[in-house]
Structure 1
């Protein structure tokens, strides 16, 4: 079957600034933002956005601000086989300079206070919803979307975000928007100990090649990543099987295993009895 994929975008000074994408899930990919940031609004679809220090589950109507960093995005297949549809803004220093011909807002000035998050879910407000509903009209009538209007829409969205910034988290993010982040390997590993994530993705979130990640991991933990992660996940699964009535599929998923049969085989090899046999022993 041919993959369904559509994209329409509009530029500022020859740089993509606003776009709308439509594609068929499931789709899982790594995304590296260097000296750029994005604002993504989910029109339709569900995603698990994996950051080095956080995991966000996104659903229709959600809007997220992403600073310069590495991300793993997992768009899930939908029960009704519908397509994913998103609208997004790309922000770079040069786009901001073009959009704000006089002076870029002070909130974008480099801050000495580094934020501890690389993705921020924005508040759901009627005004923000109205903004994206109105923006959608331009994608239906792309001939009306001139560069001056694109610039106005970028400024309008930023102004709306600042107006909804009740706790200062958005302003803090804007001040650290284009600064790359560095993470301790241990922090990323412990954050995603029970996440459904591959080793190459863990390495990517740490900003390391897979070979460097494996070498540093063994130096820190004294064993290979697979051995360590599997043992921790199986130990948690054993505890959940004995202490809860959750079904085995849910337990496997909560412990970082997507394939129940693989989980069962690994569990039996580790404990010498299957998950279902352990459940019967309670």
Structure 2
């Protein structure tokens, strides 16, 4: 049950909201055309996405694209008051306040459908939230210029978090809302230094759902398919480039040289250096017969 709800609008649309909710509760977001920053001021909530559940502890935040993401939160405690601060990011308002050029954080060339990111406790963001609370306590001080400044401020702070890549991806979806296919996301990230869990997140899927979907598209496991493609790419680079073997391994997604060398030997029956020195040509000739 919502026991208190205050908000300020910017250019006719909700920009910042302070909401106090009595537990237990389940709250469904209305379908919206914006992204939002949801900060836990008091209590602890849980975000629902398919079979996934993401806990949002006190002083943590959730940044999400409200167009593509799941839209349900619920309380984790049986009783008590939960308080959240929500900042909304509407694409038309962002274009209006950045009338010359959108900042880099609102642009992304990453091929990903990721629409949700959990942000850990952050001192600067805590101070930002304290500033918003001050304006809710002194509404006579609030005007359009203040709200524009506060909107730009949180965007600058998000650009300084360790989650900036995910934040950029989610912001960019507001301006290019088309979703990528499952295979487009996989192929675009084959050689990236990311874990299986992170790759699943780029699809907005749990790891179990990602593995099922991968098997449906590729008739293989993610680990086998991705390792094979990375080794094939490394073998190609060994023959056509003068890059160091360590650099080739890293650029093909292997972050431990020993693991790369073992996997390469298992597949090609020689070390990467032997492959480069001539064994690779022999291997390719035999493979083509």
Pick closer, same or farther for the CA change 1:83–1:165 going to 2, 3 Å: same
**TM-score, structure 2 normalization:** 0.56
* Count of residue pairs brought into register by the alignment: 187
* Alignment match, 2:202: none
Whether 2:98 is the aligned partner of 1:134: answer no
**TM-score, structure 1 normalization:** 0.58
Gaps of 5+ in 2: 183-204, 211-289
* Alignment match, 1:31: 29
Q: Residue 31 of structure 1: CA displacement? A: 2.5
Q: What SS does structure 1 have at the residue aligned with 2:33?
A: coil
* Alignment match, 1:146: 143
* Alignment match, 1:96: 94
Whether 2:158 is the aligned partner of 1:161: answer yes
* Alignment match, 1:56: 54
Pick closer, same or farther for the CA change 1:95–1:120 going to 2, 3 Å: same
C-alpha distance in 2, partners of 1:78/1:11?
31
Pick closer, same or farther for the CA change 1:87–1:75 going to 2, 3 Å: same
Pick closer, same or farther for the CA change 1:32–1:114 going to 2, 3 Å: farther
> CA offsets, 1:232-274, max 9 Å, x none?
xxxxxxxxxxxxxxxxxxxxxxxxxxxxxxxxxxxxxxxxxxx
C-alpha distance in 1, partners of 2:15/2:178?
20
> CA offsets, 1:162-213, max 9 Å, x none?
02246623223322245265898xx679549xxxxxxxxxxxxxxxxxxxxx
Pick closer, same or farther for the CA change 1:55–1:88 going to 2, 3 Å: same
Find the structure with the greater CA-based Rg: 2
1:174 to 143, 150, 171: 171
| 1:165–1:171 contact (8 Å) kept in structure 2 | no
* Alignment match, 2:74: 75
Please report the RMSD computed on the Cα atoms of aligned residues, expressed in angstroms.
3.0
C-alpha distance in 1, partners of 2:166/2:157?
14
Higher relative contact order structure (alpha carbons within 8 Å, sequence separation ≥ 6): 1
